[in-house]
Amino acid sequence: MATYKNIKGFEIQYLDSDPATSNVGQVWYNSTTKALKGTTAGGASIGTWAAGGAMNTARYASGQGTTGTQTAAIASGGNPNQAVVEQYNGSSWSEISDINTARSRSASCATSNTALVITGGSAPTRALTESFDGSSWTELNDLNSARSAFTGAGTQTAGLVFGGTEPPATGKTESWNGTNWTEVGDLNEGVSSNSGAGTQTAAFMVYNNQHEQWDGSSWTEVAELNTSRTVLASVGTTTSILSFGGENPAGSARLANTEFWNGSSWTEVADLGTAVYFNSGAGTSSLALSFTSDPGTGATTQTEEFTAPDTVTVSFTVS
């Protein structure tokens, strides 16, 4: 029979406390707790939500899509119809230069809180596009199709927007090269109040329980969420998605549900601390941010942070 030494090339360590750091697969015996322990992979399945710094200006339906990272996020505009912009640094929000045109329910394409483009929005339904360089906003070329309640993916110079209402709900998708918008392949169904993120060539869209993925030229329908919802937030990549908050399709309840997509299936993970909808998101599936909400109780300043450890220590038991 193979032993740990045969497999790993060394004996199990005998320690009086757990090591400060360890690698996946490492095993040791803790003589103080008299337990055999080891390190296994972490991930979104064991992540948790915690309160983050409150926003300065209450709002909901801020820019949706890629809005930076958990420690460098941006909230642009929002409802009630406003031009206020705030940056998040990982602990607190600071007000910065306003966008030129007040709007809500717009789409964002950003890698950080100092380099992004926002476009569209309401009210009225807009095609206006603005770019941020870290200090000021500049108006650029308009979308081909004015719309609101949609989402964006990618970056300030290589973006993608999809879905929304013109009205009616649309599946139109447009690609951004830093100067111009170009219409590309439509979603399989027209949607409004959808979420999504990713890159210009590998994006995803979530709406109700519908989930579509973009490969750079066309959209493909994939596995459905466990809980149908709209006006939610999503972050991540096509193989690692975190979707959270939202409203059930009947419009009768806001949700705290959080689901993780591992590239093949959706799994329910830790709920938000407070049920929200019309929230926005930033970050990744392991380090996410949920902010702005929610017309049901009036615009709020709520922020929550999701953190999933890369590794976790477990104790082995005999069965």
Check whether domain 45-307 has CATH 2.120.10.80, yes or no? yes
Query: What is the predicted pLDDT for the residue at 152?
Result: 97
Q: d(Cα 287, Cα 54) in Å, to the nearest integer?
A: 18
CA nearest to 293, candidates 301, 285, 282: 301
Query: What is the predicted pLDDT for the residue at 4?
Result: 56
Query: What is the predicted pLDDT for the residue at 226?
Result: 95
Query: pLDDT in tens for each of the 319 residues of the chain?
Result: 666 555 555 678 877 888 877 776 778 778 888 887 766 666 788 899 999 999 999 999 999 999 999 999 999 999 988 999 999 999 999 999 999 999 999 999 998 888 899 999 998 999 999 999 999 999 999 999 999 999 999 999 999 999 999 999 999 999 999 999 999 999 999 999 999 999 999 999 999 989 999 999 999 999 999 999 999 999 999 999 999 999 998 877 899 999 999 999 999 999 999 999 999 999 999 999 999 887 777 788 999 999 998 766 767 776 5
Query: What is the predicted pLDDT for the residue at 319?
Result: 57
CA nearest to 87, candidates 110, 106, 119: 110
Q: d(Cα 184, Cα 238) in Å, to the nearest integer?
A: 19
Cβ–Cβ contacts within 10 Å for residue 242, how many? 26
Q: d(Cα 44, Cα 230) in Å, to the nearest integer?
A: 22
**Amino acid letter for position 14:** Y
Query: What is the predicted pLDDT for the residue at 317?
Result: 76
Ranges in the chain annotated CATH 2.120.10.80: 45-307
